[in-house]
Chains A and B, each alone.
Chain A
C-alpha cells in the first residue's frame, strides 16, 4: 500500500498534527507492507523536510517553485494530486486542520473523488480501508469502507501517533501548481493565537464568568499551561468572545488532551463539540450542571476563587 502524506508547516516548523499524521501513516504501512511518501511544498519546503527525516516517511518529495509564492490552496492541491497520481497512491492523508481540510478536498475533487474527513481511526481490513469519524459534532460515529481508490482521508489532530524511524530519502522536484487566486495581504492577529482544533490543552469559559473582561482569568491560566482559550455559544452570541473561539456543534469540534470547562453549564450542542477530549475538567458552582456528566474530574465551587488558586499552584508545580 502506498500512502502519500501532506506535510503542513508554518514559519519553517512542521505542525505537530502533521507529525502525528506521518506517524499514523507509518504504523498503517507497517501493518500492510506499505510505503509512506511525505509531500512538502512551498517556500522553504526543502529546509523543512530535513527536520522530519526520521518522522516516519520512507521518502519525502519536496516541491518548490515561483508559482507557489503567495498562492492559494488550489495550487498546493494540484501538487498533492499530481504526486498522488504519479506515485499511484492507494491512500492520501492530511491532518484535519482548517487549511488541511480545504486542500485535501480540492485535491480529491480534482481526481473525481471525496474525503473521509476528520477521522479518528483508520484501519485496513481484508485489503479495504475502513475509517471512523464523529459526526453531529460527536453525537454519532460513522464507520465507512472505501470502495474506490485512491482513498483521501484527513486525520483529526491529537488522534495520531508520532514515531521515530530510519531517515527518509528526499527527492526535490519543480512545483507546477498554479492558482488564479493570490494572497495579497496578511494582517497578524494581536496574540500569537493557537488554533483551537490543534491545541493540546483548551480552557473554555461560559456565562459563569459574568463579564467579558473576566476572561482575563482564563487567558492568564492559559499562559501557564500553554493552552488555547475557547468559549461557549452563549458568550459568543453575547459578543464577549469572537466566533472563532466557539466550541460546540455550531462552532468548533475539539479533541484536546485536556479540556477545562469553566463556568459552562453544558448545553447538548456544547457537550457534542468537546466530549471526545481525552480528559475533561469541569469547574462550576452548580453541582447539578450537565457538564459534570462528561467530566473526568469535577470541582464544585466559585470559579473566581478556584481559577486564581489553580494558576498559583500550577505555577509552582510546573516550574
Chain B
C-alpha cells in the first residue's frame, strides 16, 4: 500500500501574532513552529494503515519554507519512510499550493493521500479538495475512521445530525479529523533513525495566483465590556441587558 501525507508547518496555537509594519505579512521571527495539529492525525493514520496492511510506504510531503525539514524530520521520527520538500519562501495562494502538491503526487500512484481537515493558520479547509479535483480523484474531508479492503475504501465521518458511512474504490484523498486517532510521540531511537531517512528536494510548480494579499491586520478590538454583577443576584440584570442592549434573546 502506497500512502502520501501532505503536511504543513504552522505557528504553535499558543503563539501571539505580531504584524509586519507594511501589513503585507505576519512577523514570524519569534514564532515557535509545529506540524499543523490535524496533519498529525493524518500522519498517524497513514502509519496505522501501513501497519494494518503489513506492507507499504508512507511519504510525507510539504510545500513551504526550507526550514520545514525540521517538521518533516519529526514526521519521519513518527515512522514515515521518506519525505518530499517543495521549498518555496514566497507565500502561495491555495491553488498554487495545490498545483505544486498535485504535480508531486500525479505520477506517484498512491492508494491513499491524507491531509489534515484544515491547517490551523490559514484555515481554508480546501487544499485537500483542490488537489483531489486536480488529480481527478474522490475526496472526503473530516474523516473519523477509514478502513481498506482490497481496492475498496470505507470511511465514516460525523455530519450534522449523525454519522455517515461512505464507500468507494481506491485511490482516494481524505482529510483527517481529530477523532481519527491519538498521534504517537516519536521515541528517541526513531528520532535518531529519522536523521538518515531521505528528504527529496523538488522545485515547486505553483503557476499563477488567483488571489493577491492586500493586508494582514489584527482583528478589530472588541468594544469594552463590563461586569454586570456578582453571583445569582446578577442574573436579572444580565437578562435585561441581553434583551434591551444586545437584543440577542
Q: What is A's interface to B at a CB cutoff of 8 Å?
A: 10, 72, 74, 77, 97-99, 101-102, 105-106, 108-110, 112-118, 130, 134-148, 179-189, 192-193, 195, 201, 225, 242-244, 246, 248-251, 253, 257-258, 267-269, 272, 275-276, 278-281, 287, 292, 294-302, 305-306, 309-310, 313-314, 317-318
Contacts and interface: CB of A to CB of B under 8 A. Distances in A.
Contact of B164 (A179, A185, A272): A185
Contacts of B201: none
Contacts of A116: 211
B121 interface: yes
Interface of B: 11, 13-14, 16-17, 19, 26, 37-38, 93-95, 98, 120-126, 128-134, 138-142, 158-169, 172, 177-179, 208-220, 222-223, 225-232, 234-236, 238-239, 241-243, 246, 248-249
Contacts of B13: 137, 248-250, 268-269, 272
B132 A243 contact: no
Contacts of A317: 239, 243
Contact of A144 (B16, B121, B166, B214): B214
Contacts of A292: 225, 227
A280 B241 CA distance: 12
A299 B126 contact: no
A244 B179 contact: yes
Most chain B beta-carbon contacts within 10 A, residue among A106, A109, A298: A109
Contacts of A301: 230-232, 234
12 contacts: A106-B129, A106-B132, A114-B130, A136-B120, A142-B122, A181-B138, A184-B167, A187-B165, A276-B219, A299-B228, A302-B231, A318-B249
Contacts of B165: 183-187
B120 A250 contact: yes
A180 B169 contact: yes
A117 B229 contact: no
Given A188-B162, A242-B179, A297-B226, A305 B231 contact: yes
Contacts of A300: 227, 229-231, 234
A130 B235 contact: no
Contacts of A134: 219
B125 A105 contact: yes
Nearest to A194: B160
Contacts of B231: 299-302, 305-306
Contacts of A249: 13, 120
